[in-house]
Chain A
């Protein structure tokens, strides 16, 4: 068997593929953050909590109402999106125009509240969610066993990512959005309801997080604190990509998944720190991130 730095080629291919799968998760999560920052200039520290809400909602709806996976895939993000609109309408709107930092602190507070309440109700051991029947099992690719569900994760995440990118960068709706948030008075003059647009954009951003949450429910331990661990990593991804760059967030997400996957192969203990190392280095060389525009 051929080896690369003492690691069998087969293992390495497997790790790369796993890296891409995790990267797809990162892309989905960082995309939501990038939409929210890029269009609204809000630093959404509640993003991890929204991801958690998506996963928790999936499990709770199944346990209490028997809502199945496919329905949850739409319903959970929708509910979380509505929660997001409410957060924007009742809280974030009141600090519009203030320094970005306040939005970070405010959403951090919101995240603490959501996590704390759910911890008291559901505990921290995690909720059980069975893999949907049609995704049970997997296929042997020769170099690794590929569970069907992970294949689905890549497909679903990439489709949603590309769709979002296309909508914002290439359609009329996206143009309104970008214009509305850049020059709200002008757009208001054109008869466009900018405050509503802002609420909906925030709602949409957190929907993406919730969608990632639903995807995560069958494969990760679903707990009220699941979002707080991933939040900082996802932020690092967005910063490396260039805050606010939609395409940058997607590409960087996948890249970082691969970087992390390789670290997990060659020096596993550093796999949680490597993204921060990359971030420091990237910002040394490109102060606005890989794909960021000049500030």
Chain B
């Protein structure tokens, strides 16, 4: 009897303690650290405008959750994992930061999430492309939200092969990101009945693509795919237009192309290119409404990364509101249990590996005749359902996936 009583009391006490610890916001402040490239190569992807998107999210929930005020601290990661790791460490240990947002370069993201896992806090990754972030590098302490290389290589190739683009030539940036993109594309093309007839690995960065475009032209492939990013992709597209690649009957497919890149290229040069995107500002009423507000703040249309930063931050703050706790695991669980229905996506959900799965879109760059203004750039050709778009859990190497 006494034994029983003892057990009971201790159970109640521990339940209370856990409850007490959970239903509490540490320091009565929710502190968000925004870590991104603010001055280098990836600046336009997230950068200063991503911070604006985050600030919009905080303002939209009213600046407080459950009476706790929300603060943002910011740092430039200088695209350096050292800087990322020491900044995040200091944030978590000295400044009581609860969540880290932004995160672009894959080396930065992996370094930051390792530290965040150690301290059992939370990261919302929006800028990075590497699908390894929720695969071999997954942690219970981060969520990868906007996109990754897997859907990029699923959407575009599948659609193009089905339209008759059977033979492919791939220009690959010679580093891990390019290699994984190339491998995924090869798999998708072949499984749809197409064939890779050649590929080139070019150094990163390459200022002049004429040599590679010429080789791609000489290959006679139906499709020339660009498995690279940023300035490499825009340079390759400019050169392809100059050398009349599409006029000679070849299709150009860019695997990773952001709205900011297409805007820089202009529809004259980029017209007709097919690409996969996680979000487009003009795709529905909710998106447009938010994009208009964003434009007022920044003077530019948001990329999918900006939209993802906003959406994920709102989801995060709502989860704190709902649970009354800023404990990373409580919040993460709440976020996983709540389907995402907002300006970013409909019925998005966060999987156990931390991957947010949502519909992706196959888009095509408009022609100059179709485009009514400088930001009127895509037409959406097809929706890629969430289940098709992302790497299935059965293929996952993530330690959090129960079948592993």
Contact = CB atoms under 8 A, between A and B. Distances in A.
Contacts of B264: 125-128, 221
Interface in A117-144: 119-120, 123-128, 130-131, 137-138, 144
A261 interface: yes
B41 A147 contact: no
Interface stretch (B23-31, B131-139, B155-163, B208-216): B208-216
Contact of A230 (B207, B239, B242, B244): B207
A25 B239 CA distance: 16
A109 interface: no
Interface stretch (A31-39, A94-102, A195-203, A266-274): A266-274
B207 A229 contact: yes
A14 B213 CA distance: 11
Given A128-B265, A269-B174, A145 B201 contact: no
Contacts of B40: 124, 225
Interface stretch (A15-23, A173-181, A186-194): A15-23
Contacts of B249: none
A130 B268 contact: yes
A145 B41 CA distance: 32
A18 B213 CA distance: 11
A8 interface: yes
B43 A119 contact: yes
Interface in B144-197: 174
B260 A269 contact: no
Which of A119, A126, A221: most chain B Cβ within 10 A?
Answer: A221
Interface in A220-259: 220-221, 223, 225-226, 229-230
A145 B43 contact: no
A145 B217 contact: yes
B295 interface: no
A268 B207 contact: no
A268 B210 contact: no
B39 A15 contact: no
Contact of B242 (A22, A25, A120, A219): A219
Contacts of B41: 124, 225
Contacts of A131: 242
A43 to B, nearest CB: 22
Contacts of A19: 211
A123 B207 CA distance: 18
A225 B230 CA distance: 12
B214 A11 contact: yes
A160 interface: no
A35 B42 CA distance: 35
B218 interface: yes
A116 interface: yes
B39 A119 contact: yes
Nearest to A273: B203
18 contacts: A10-B218, A25-B208, A119-B43, A123-B43, A123-B44, A124-B43, A125-B44, A125-B260, A126-B234, A126-B264, A128-B265, A128-B266, A147-B244, A149-B242, A220-B207, A226-B231, A268-B202, A272-B206
Given A271-B202, A271-B211, 10 more contacts: A11-B218, A19-B211, A22-B208, A138-B242, A144-B217, A221-B235, A223-B231, A268-B174, A269-B202, A272-B203
Interface of A: 8, 10-11, 14-15, 18-19, 21-22, 25, 116, 119-120, 123-128, 130-131, 137-138, 144-145, 147, 149-150, 219-221, 223, 225-226, 229-230, 261, 264-265, 268-273
Interface of B: 39-44, 174, 200-203, 205-208, 210-212, 214-215, 217-218, 231, 234-235, 238-239, 242-244, 248, 260-261, 263-266, 268-269
